[in-house]
Structure 1
Amino acid sequence: MAGVERDGGCLCGAVRFKVSGAPQRVGICHCQDCRRASGSFFTPFGVWPISAYEGSGEMKIFARRSFCPQCGSHIAWLRDNEAEIMLGSLDMAPSDLIPEYELWVPRRENWLMALPWAEQFAGDRFPPSDP
Structure 2
Amino acid sequence: MEHYQGGCLCGAVRITTSGPPLRVGICHCRNCRRHHGALFYAAAIFPAQAVHVEGRPHHYKGRHFCGTCGSSVFAQTGDEIEVHLGSLDNTNGLTPEYEVWCRRREDWLPQFTGTACHDRDRDGD
Normalising to structure 2: TM-score of the pair?
Answer: 0.92
Aligned partner of 1:98 in structure 2 is: 95
Which deviates more, 38-47 or 72-81?
72-81
> What does residue range 69-80 of structure 1 map to in structure 2 within 5 Å?
69-80=67-78
Return the offset for 1:117: 1.9
Aligned partner of 2:52 in structure 1 is: 54
Structure 1's consecutive aligned runs of 4 or more residues displaced over 6 angstroms after TM superposition are: none
Aligned partner of 2:17 in structure 1 is: 19
Residues of 1 paired with 2:60 and 2:49: CA distance?
22
Aligned partner of 1:118 in structure 2 is: 115
Give the conservation status (yes or no) of the 8 Å contact 1:50–1:79.
Answer: no
What SS does the aligned partner of 2:25 have?
Answer: strand
The amino acid of 1:70's aligned partner reads T
Q: Deviations over 1:63-115 (max 9, x none)?
A: 321111111111111233111110100012x1321111001101111111333
**How many percent identity over aligned positions?**
43
Aligned partner of 1:10 in structure 2 is: 8
Return the offset for 1:60: 1.1
The amino acid of 1:118's aligned partner reads T
Aligned partner of 2:61 in structure 1 is: 63
Compute the RMSD of aligned alpha carbons: 1.3
Give the conservation status (yes or no) of the 8 Å contact 1:103–1:120.
Answer: yes
Which deviates more, 102-111 or 76-85?
76-85
Which deviates more, 49-58 or 107-116?
107-116
Provide structure 1 residue ranges, at least 5 long, that are not aligned to the other structure.
Answer: none
Normalising to structure 1: TM-score of the pair?
Answer: 0.88
